[in-house]
Amino acid sequence: MKEKLDALLCDGTAEILAAENENELQVVKGKYLGKDGLVTKLLKEIPTLDVSLRPEMGKAVNQVKNALGEKIDARREEIKNKAFAISPDFDCTVPGLTPQIGGLHPITQMCYDLNDAFRSMGFEVFSGPEITSEYFAFDNLNFPPNHPARESMDTYWLEGHDSGEANEKLCLRPHLTGDSVRYMQTHKPPYRFVYPGRVYRNETTDARHERAFFQYEALIVDKDFTYTAGKVMIKSILSKVFGQDVPVRMRAGFFPFVEPGFEIDMGCLVCGGKGCSVCKHVGWIEIMPGGTPHPNVLRAAGVDPDEYTGFYVNIGLDRLVMMRYGVDDVRMFHSTDLRFLTQFR
Amino acid sequence: MKLSLNWIKDFVKLPDDLTMSQLAFDLTMATVEVEGVHDLSKQFDGIVVGVINEVLPHPNADKLRVCKVDIGADEIKEIVCGGSNLEAGMKVVVACPGAMVRWHGEGEPVEIKNTKLRGVASFGMICAAVEVGLSDLFPTDDDHAIMDISYLDVKPGINLADALDLNDMILEIDNKSMTNRPDLWGHYGIARELAALYDLPLKDIEKYVPETDTAYDVRILDTERCPRYIGAKIENLSVKEAPFYMQSRLWRVGLRPINALVDITNYVMLAVGQPTHVFDSNHIIDHIEVRRADEGEKLQLLNDKEIELCTDDLVIADSEGAVALAGVMGGAKDSVLPDTESVILEVANFNSHGVRRTALRYDNRTEASARYEKAIDPERCDLAVTLSMELFKELYPEMKVVAYCDSYPNKLVKKEIDVDFDWLDRRLGMRIPQEVVSKKLGSMGYEVTFTEKGMHIVVPTWRSTGDVSIKADIMEEVARMYGYENFQPTSITTTFDGAINQLRVDLVRKIKEYLSFRCNMQEIFTYPWMTDTFVNALLPDTNEVFALSTPPSPSEKYVRSTLLPNICKAIVKNERNFPEFAIFEEAKIFRDCNYAHEYDEKEALPYERRHLGCAFVGSPDKVTELFRTAKGVIGMMPRYTHMEEFTFKKVEKPYWADETVWLNVFLGEKKIGDLALLSHKAKTDCGIKVVSAVLVEIDMDSLIPFKSRTNRFVHIPEFPMNEYDLSFLVDSMVKWEDIYSACMLKKSGDSLLKDVRFVDEYKGKQIPKGKKSVTIRLVIGSSEKTLTGEEIEAAAKSVLKKLTKNLGAEIRS
């Protein structure tokens, strides 16, 4: 019996090691340790042996049983570990499978960034019609009939609607400010709103000039709103949009919709104000005009300028986006070229 | 506009410790944008006066000479030079090594170095005027002549800027920043601003008192367009060169000296901002009249351009006809000629709008018209006359004013404004002491008297032509003079008035973000006008399509009434770089109809709607995928953007769509858009070469956003759902919709069939002609128990039976 046991251990071990997978191992386990397994059979034979041999043989058979059991467990672990191993020539440097690239237009992105910033300060978003009458484009915005600004904003008039009274002449809007009057006429003060949108000017285009561009205006109208509060507002907005503290300065400027008027500069983020080619070596970049809405504009909107004042800014989004990404030709924005548009994330 | 600091200092004495950068900063913050400041003397660094002691022949070159030049400090240097006018004893301009000169006046400045010319060592260079940028002041006809400054009483070695008194700082002002400030268009105006900024006295210019009683005959026939005209006949003059300082100042700020008479007028204009003009008095017949031109009247201008006038033009005329275009340009006939000995000096005020219209009409904007356009006050004529007469006297001590007339029929009314201190404090957000306010205003020329609650302010004439008229203007004056940067920041306060809730604004953004980030489409921007090629390809006609009066180009006159033409243009643009892509645009479309008074009863605006346009573009053999992608993207949009669901129906084929592959998008009973394959014809007409495109256009203004998230929770099934795939053959014209209906036929509430899904369809090899193979997936389950295999099988069989019976489906073997 002893020899038989040795042979069982030897064969069993060999068969265990030869098992290539869990199933084969199960078969080997059944053959030796199962209900009718070879080792089990020997165990069953113990009671038939001579009494004096029983303890020793019982022990020996159990040892073999345990040994095989352990080997099976060990082999099972080995198989598990080996079973899902990937061939070592797998290449982890192959590029990932990316979804097709999609995205918002870079100007939309900037517009939404600004919307988020302004809405966090309680501003509403408003948009007016893109076809407007001369009345809303110029007349009620403090542009006297002969004002040169009417010429400088060379306007796209619509055929068949390009003469007659101001309220009959129709054009693609040359600026957004008319929208502010539309909003104020239909709401009650105090006001706090932004009105982004496209505007159109009949100009010759080049790398810095476009016929269609995107402006972003914001207006607060409240009692005794000072320009210094306006400065704080602009600083907060820009700091949120650009993700860092942005120095802001306001200096004298002139625009027909405002009085007093300002040119608003932001500290150059490229050089940190030290002076570089982007800021023409002055450390500041002119980004928007702004100021207190002109009393005539408030009057046109039915607001009493003695009671109310406010603050207005007009951000040229094209320019801001050009600065954000270093785009050097404004015409790219309307190019529809996906090689350009898919660069912005 | 360029300004000379020395010239400004004629009118205001600036503090010695004021740096140029401080001055530029202060002016920029308070008044106008200083774009740059440059030190004029810098360009003459290393350029000195030399005296030629000897001119020797060059051993190796006929045209060159070797000059021994004394450049001061006992140094005699040898300089090789090809100048045609070299002579011993001549004072010349020597550029020493290190100086920057422009070779023959061309190209960028280059640095002078010690060099050898044809074998002879040369120290620096003897310069021609053009090489040191002084050709305007030292004109010559001889290209090879060097600059001769022998007339100067200076020692050799002295720097050229010192020798010619060219030590000056030049300020460059952004013209755009002072379009509203006619008073600033001259050195005197800027000096006044600086005097106010730094609390300094401004030089007073006294009013001229004519020395003759003889009146010059001036007749103003249009006092609206010409509020004031001063004419003076001056004799004992001649045409000569102006003194160097005068020429030099004109040159510094960008004007070319011409002759003393013309230079005086330019000098006065640059000094006080008032254009003036001189006519040769021999050519003015009888008198001067200021009148409207006759229709078709001809005038030859100073620049020899002949123009045909209209009645809107204001002219200066004598008894025979027009001699000058008022405020714009003089005529050729009466200009200063070489033999001019007496002149009529014109110092006049013209209406800004008229000058502007005339200058634009003849495309003839001049230094004078640019100033008149800004609305100069008529009182400024006094400054200009005084200064002119001083200069005539200085240049022509023998001169005589023999006749004089100051016709001022249309007096300027000074603006008067009342300002409440309480109002001022509230608007400024701080209290500036009243004495400071009145002092600052006073130094800018405002007359201030205190009233019970504030100030009564009389605006100076030079600010009364439109610039300052209301109390907000006064507030601005006070704030900028006090210094915008001296105000403390104040926080923004507001009353909370409910949260912002703008469903429509949010919906547009959600849709764009859905398309971009979930559907991987790229947003594009296009112009609001359409190109004819695409209009012809996609629109049945142009009824109710707006056109521009002056379009960007003749083929781009139509204003978009649909987004698809521009989207197709974008497809053409991109198909050469990308085999497949998906794009969208959100923009307004317009139609010449449905006018409504949405905002104002005075204003009727046309049909204008916000649209969404999409294109799913790819290879023509993937039309099914493109179509299904488009349908999926649009179909799922309401789920992700929280709005009312769409349905697809076939009601009205879009003009541009393929005969078969098209759908209309419906919201309830309302058609809000189309989804279709671009027909082969439209595609070809657009010039799309390879790709196919499924286009979508939806009226976004019709979409209905949910007020909040509205769907309800549904319990997840307690017992497992089983999926069971069926493949069968049907006639190839059978639609998915028919299959789905057939499966659901007579389905009761407790039916085990819970859903039927489309998996696949296949036509082609192994499938009989006229048939297609369809695979569907049945979802079978019960809410009461786990189904057995037999039960599932039975449920599937009953579905197959319905398909066989109603659609003639045959199970695929």
pLDDT digits 0-9 by tens, B695-740: 999 999 999 999 888 778 988 989 999 999 999 999 999 999 999 9
Residue B750 reports pLDDT greater than 80: no
ipTM of the assembly?
A: 0.84
Mean pLDDT value of segment B292-302: 92
- Per-chain mean pLDDT for chain B: 92
| CB contact A119 to B (< 8 Å) | yes
Residue B371 reports pLDDT greater than 90: yes
- Residues 635-664 (B) with a CB less than 8 A from some CB of A: none
CA A47/CA B257 separation, integer angstroms? 136
Tokens 């009226």 — which residue?
Answer: B699
CA A59/CA A119 separation, integer angstroms? 83
List Cβ neighbours of B445 (8 Å cut-off, separation of 6 or more): B192, B460, B462, B463
Name the residue in chain A with its Cα closest to that of B178: A254
- For A192, the closest of B494, B528, B581 (CB atoms) is B494
- Residues 197-236 (A) with a CB less than 8 A from some CB of B: 198, 200, 202, 211-212, 220, 222, 224-229, 231-233
Mean pLDDT value of segment B603-616: 96
CA B516/CA A105 separation, integer angstroms? 9
- For A131, the closest of B485, B488, B605 (CB atoms) is B605
What is the pLDDT at residue B199?
A: 92
Q: Nearest 5°: phi and psi at A235?
A: -65, -40
Q: How many CB atoms lie within 10 A of CB B76?
A: 14
Q: Are strands A191-200 and A124-125 parallel, antiparallel or unpaired?
A: parallel
What is the pLDDT at residue B290?
A: 96
Residue B55 reports pLDDT greater than 90: no
Give the model's confidence band at B551: pLDDT under 50 very low, under 70 low, under 90 confident, else very high.
very high
Does residue B32 sit in helix, strand or coil?
coil
Higher-scoring residue by pLDDT: B649, B61: B649
Contact B605 A226 (CB under 8 A): no
Which tokens go with B216? 């010059």
**Which among A68-77, A287-296, B525-534 has the top mean pLDDT?**
B525-534
Residue B26 reports pLDDT greater than 90: yes
List Cβ neighbours of B769 (8 Å cut-off, separation of 6 or more): none
**Minimal C-alpha gap between B595 and chain A (Å):** 11
Strand arrangement of the beta sheet that strand B91-95 belongs to = B76-81, B61-70, B47-58, B91-95, B125-126
Name the residue in chain B with its Cα closest to that of A202: B552
CA A247/CA A269 separation, integer angstroms? 9
What is the pLDDT at residue A101?
A: 82
Which positions in chain B touch A103 (Cβ < 8 Å)? 516-517, 522-523
Give the model's confidence band at B813: pLDDT under 50 very low, under 70 low, under 90 confident, else very high.
low
Question: Per mean pLDDT, which range of A78-92, A218-232, B262-276, B544-558 is the poorest?
Answer: A78-92
- Residues 111-140 (B) with a CB less than 8 A from some CB of A: none
Contact A12, A28 (CB under 8 A): yes
What is the pLDDT at residue B73?
A: 77
List Cβ neighbours of B647 (8 Å cut-off, separation of 6 or more): B665, B666, B667
Give the model's confidence band at A153: pLDDT under 50 very low, under 70 low, under 90 confident, else very high.
low
* Nearest alpha-carbon partner for B564 in B582, B537, B546: B537
Cβ-based burial of B263 (10 A; exposed 0-12, middle 13-18, buried ≥19): buried
Which tokens go with A305? 């300028």
- For A229, the closest of B490, B524, B557 (CB atoms) is B490
Question: Per mean pLDDT, which range of A143-157, B79-93, B205-219 is the poorest?
Answer: A143-157
Crossing angle between the packed helical segments B503-513 and A106-120, to the nearest 10 degrees: 140
Which positions in chain A touch B494 (Cβ < 8 Å)? 122, 190, 192, 222
CA dihedral B760, B764, B765, B767 (to 10 degrees): 70
Crossing angle between the packed helical segments B471-482 and B20-30, to the nearest 10 degrees: 160
Residue A148 reports pLDDT greater than 60: no
Residue B454 reports pLDDT greater than 60: yes
Contact B599 A185 (CB under 8 A): yes
Contact B480 A254 (CB under 8 A): no
| CB contact B33 to A (< 8 Å) | yes
| Residue pLDDT, tens place only, B83-109 | 888 888 899 999 988 888 887 778 888
Give the model's confidence band at A142: pLDDT under 50 very low, under 70 low, under 90 confident, else very high.
low
Residue B204 reports pLDDT greater than 90: yes
